[in-house]
Structure 1
Amino acid sequence: MEPKIKEVTDKKSWEDFLLNQENSPFLQSWNSGDQFEAIGDNVFRLGVFDGGNLVGVALVMKVEAKRGTFLYLPYGPVLDWKREEYFKALIDYLKILAKEENAIFVRVSPFLKNTEKNQELFTANGFRPAPIHMLAEVLWLLDLSPSEEELMMKMDKQTRYLIRRAEKEGVKIIKSRKLEDVEKFLELHQETVKRHSFTPYPDKYFKEQFRNFVCDDQALMLLAEYQGETLATAMIMYYGDQGSYHHGASTHKFPKIPASYLLQWEAIKEAKQRGKKIYSFWGIASDEELEKNPKHPFKGITLFKKRFGGYRYDLLHCQDLRLSKKYFVNWGIETLRRVKRGF
């Protein structure tokens, strides 16, 4: 029997399937779909069914950009990649959906290890590497199976010192589920944007993400406070077997107070206490990128994350399925953008 693709309308069946997979990225969760719908995106929750059983899910967004409309799967789909017929059935459906939605290509950021075999799977099904990445593709992960004492010892000596110093200086970490604390994050985020000159998500993106995930106890806002000031904030997502440092922001007030180090340590301990197996620091710049560009804008945050111990995990690069000649306009614009920013 050939696999069938149908829209899924039941949150419980979606979440039960996703949370039982080896990899269950929160960007493919039901709440993530609700978040994107709340900020005005069209979302399609597609299920792959085999004999009536749900065997794969794909949260698909319709992205309407000036350079062309496309369908996008953030860290999806989630399915058994050994069953290529599941992937083929989904691709066939996405082609039809793209035509109905006037999309000129389908873009996939798969949560798959970067291997030659995985790239061949996409190439064989008509995909090509995208000119840019959409999400982090070089991750820095921390195994949470050791004890807290062992995790501390795996950090570099300076990091341990800075965590203890922040505690001695009186930095307090607040773990908040309050929506109003997103405003404190946004204040620091605006300062961080000015400092590093990058294009931010709109404020509503952060507000809706926190609102939709915190209702299922899948998010916390951590705030590092010192002498009545908020020095650093982090939105941590707790989903599946991971805790993820998804967004962070800080101020340069009190530059000698290492608040961000204590903030991360508390986030790591919270993930461990929740029974998570992995703490994800999210994306870093690869050694190859840093060697090529010593002034890489992510150099500082990469060195910061690595100080806590952990290991690098490379995901397959973003993949595009061209459905129209208009795709090459998008390809040209994005290629120029990548060359201009240098990564």
Structure 2
Amino acid sequence: MTQLDLNDSQALARYDAFVRQSPNASFYQDRAWAQVKSNWTPAYFVYEREGAIVGAVSALSITANNGVPFIYCSRGPVIDPRDTELWREMIEDMTAYARSINAFFVRFDPELLEDTSLQEHYSELGFRVRSADLLLTDFIQPRCNAVLDLRGKTLEQVLMGFDAKKRYDIRVGLRHDISYTQGRDNEALRMFSEITDDMAERKGISMRDFAYFKRMMEAFPQAYVALGSYEGEVLCGALMLPYGDKMTYLYAASLEVKRSIQAPNALLWHLIEDAMNKGYTAFDLGGVFALDGSCPLYKYKKGFVKQEGITAYIGELDLVIDEEVYAGFIK
């Protein structure tokens, strides 16, 4: 294992190249994510065999509300999930790194499909596996995402895979000729942020602010804002992040006015169509926090992906360094 020197541009470029081409990678393991999470301290690790990188970890640390640091490897590590030798080496190295900064645990939550045998394997390696026995609200990242599989499908086949109400709503929006624009400039971002603020206040929920969205755009040059308008008035928007073979519908918001013309559904359809035209094989609508009608996000997103598109991941893998502090934190 090599911990990268943050001033070694060549080594960092090799890390970037490996992560961005890896089938096991997520944008959360990209170094750009640390620019978004600017209050966390980054460290990057690579594993090599015969001169080639075969594994990587982005480890961000922060002081928890108990006053003790912990490490979060969001959607990591970028390692073959069944390479036991490499996982053992990574566990040993991350334990040493955690102790060096006095962290009380390290958390991983790889974007691997739920797999009982793999969960048992990771438990045998020494992880505390947090998964289906917990509420979906008990995880840092959603354990279940609504993911639309685009592989081998025509646009018509994708549309017909939606439930009847969603198809109707999309067609209503298209009949109203909802215009669709993309942008990365401050004006597009400002419009999206204002819609987000309006929705957050209306629904009594917390949402990211303009500064956060700005960091996102600066960190990921491929990210963009999509806006849906009717008769010159912007009614809805989304912040999109393509990465690898997946398009992620990362944040979305809409105004309360003119709901009957279905601008958000028309915009979402335009975005799915655009993703297909660009060759993406998956469209991730983001997380759900219950698998029943008590979760509005589940009710909405299930209409696009059906039950089979509600993708359950393996959960969180905690590497515990200080048992006493961890027990107090996790309860």
Verify: 1:140 aligned to 2:146, yes or no.
yes
> Is the alpha carbon distance of 1:280 and 1:14 closer, same or farther for their aligned partners in structure 2, counting shifts above 3 Å?
same
> 1:6, 1:49 within 8 Å by CA — same for their partners in 2?
no
Q: Which runs of 5+ in 2 are unaligned?
A: none
Partner Cα distance (2:255, 2:24) in 1: 34
Alignment of 1:97-246 (within 5 A): 97-130=97-130, 132-144=138-150, 145-213=152-220, 215=221, 218-246=222-250
Letter in 2 for 1:204: A
Q: Deviation at 1:219?
A: 1.4
1:79-132: CA deviations, max 9, x gaps?
112211111111111112112222111111121111112212321222213573
User: What TM-score do you get using the length of structure 1 for normalisation?
Assistant: 0.85
Match of 1:336 in 2: none
Partner Cα distance (1:232, 1:251) in 2: 6
> Is the alpha carbon distance of 1:202 and 1:221 closer, same or farther for their aligned partners in structure 2, counting shifts above 3 Å?
closer
Count residues with an aligned counterpart: 316
Give the secondary-structure state (helix, strand or coil) at the position aligned to 2:305.
Answer: coil
Q: Residue 304 of structure 2: which of 293, 305, 308 is its match?
A: 308
Q: Which runs of 5+ in 1 are unaligned?
A: 333-343
> 2:242, 2:248 within 8 Å by CA — same for their partners in 1?
yes
Percent identity, aligned pairs only, is 24
Give the secondary-structure state (helix, strand or coil) at the position aligned to 2:185.
Answer: coil
Letter in 2 for 1:303: K
Partner Cα distance (1:116, 1:160) in 2: 36
1:143-182: CA deviations, max 9, x gaps?
2131112212222232222222212223211111223322
Give the secondary-structure state (helix, strand or coil) at the position aligned to 2:24.
Answer: coil
> 1:179, 1:211 within 8 Å by CA — same for their partners in 2?
no
Partner Cα distance (2:24, 2:129) in 1: 22
Q: Deviation at 1:73?
A: 0.7
> 2:39, 2:62 within 8 Å by CA — same for their partners in 1?
no
> 2:34, 2:40 within 8 Å by CA — same for their partners in 1?
no
Match of 1:21 in 2: 22
Question: Which segment is superposed worse, 20-29 or 6-15?
Answer: 6-15
> 2:237, 2:253 within 8 Å by CA — same for their partners in 1?
yes
User: What TM-score do you get using the length of structure 2 for normalisation?
Assistant: 0.88
Partner Cα distance (2:277, 2:36) in 1: 27
Give the secondary-structure state (helix, strand or coil) at the position aligned to 2:181.
Answer: strand
> Is the alpha carbon distance of 1:62 and 1:203 closer, same or farther for their aligned partners in structure 2, counting shifts above 3 Å?
farther
Partner Cα distance (1:269, 1:24) in 2: 24
Match of 1:262 in 2: 266
> 2:57, 2:78 within 8 Å by CA — same for their partners in 1?
yes
Verify: 1:30 aligned to 2:34, yes or no.
no
Letter in 2 for 1:279: F
Match of 2:2 in 1: 5
Partner Cα distance (1:17, 1:148) in 2: 32
